Amino acid sequence: MPQNNAKTRVAGLNDRYRLDAATAVLRHALTDTHAGQLALVSSFGAESVVLLHMVSVIDRTTPVIFLDTELLFAETLVYQQEVSERLGLCDVRIIHADRQDVARTDPEQTLHRHDTDACCDLRKTRPLARALDGFDGWITGRKRYHGGSRASLDFFETEDGTGRIKVNPLAHWSRGDVRTYMEENRLPRHPLVARGYPSIGCMPCTRPVDNPDDDPRAGRWAGSEKTECGIHLVDGKLVKSGEDA
């Protein structure tokens, strides 16, 4: 859809649902014709089970896109299978990078060592763009408390250059809200959380944090300015400031 049309839709959706709770926002997004056809993009990371559970309650046939970069922790792959089965998710789409692109660009799986942006583009950004073809928008687990570019998130926003919308039902949630929801619904936690990983991405670029009160994304690309993988862009550019897709 045209970009200006998407902005009009987003403005109307934010105005209509700005006072609603997260579950209501998600329910409306999945049923409001102005939102269009949506997919949930999930990393099956530290906080992902919250939105996955909400979707399973509202409509478990909602497409769920999981990007398997082939550099993920083994624990994430096992967790993805266990959570999908437990919640009864009916349409989980496991997406990989194009084999020819990988063979040409990163045959030894070493690209992350010298160009993390190029590695993320190869293994996340381009595969996601292909997976979202045909959808009017997608649902993310981003939250304002993650900081940086996420600090002013609205429930609905436009995606630059595509005409799609992005839905952020948990935008206003705190870390305590996430913990409470998981406890009240007895949801399984990613096994790496107990080992000091508050945000979980690819194995080579993720480490545990030193203190539980640290920025939850402090263990992602530690030692560099990079804090986003590239699937979330501002003005068509990779965001350099600011867990889940």
| Per-residue pLDDT tens over the stretch 140-197 | 999 887 766 666 789 999 987 788 999 999 999 998 999 999 999 999 999 999 998 8
144 Cβ partners below 8 Å, 6+ apart? 150, 151, 152, 153, 171, 172
Question: What is the structure's pLDDT at 162?
Answer: 84
Average pLDDT over every residue of 120-129: 93
Question: What domains are there in the chain, each with its CATH number?
Answer: 3-238 (3.40.50.620)
Concerning whether 229 is annotated as a catalytic residue, the answer is: yes
pLDDT at residue 180, as a whole number: 97
- pLDDT bin (cut points 50, 70, 90) of residue 220 is low
Mean pLDDT, the chain, rounded, equals 86
Distance CA 213, CA 74 (A): 26
Residues 6+ apart with CB under 8 A from 93: 39, 63, 64, 65, 66, 131
Residue scoring higher pLDDT (21 or 226): 21
The residues, ordered by sequence, that sit 6+ positions from 176 with a Cβ below 8 Å of its Cβ are none
pLDDT in tens, 59-108: 999 999 999 999 999 999 999 999 999 999 999 999 999 999 999 999 99
Strand 92-95 to strand 64-67: parallel, antiparallel, or no bridges (unpaired)? parallel
Q: Which residue of the set 120, 202, 205, 229 is catalytic?
A: 229
Q: Which of 109, 149, 146 is nearest to 230 (CA)?
A: 149
Query: What pLDDT is stored for residue 5 in this prediction?
Result: 81
Report pLDDT for 137. 94
pLDDT bin (cut points 50, 70, 90) of residue 241 is very low
pTM of the complete model: 0.85
CA torsion, points 183, 211, 220, 54, in degrees to nearest 10?
10
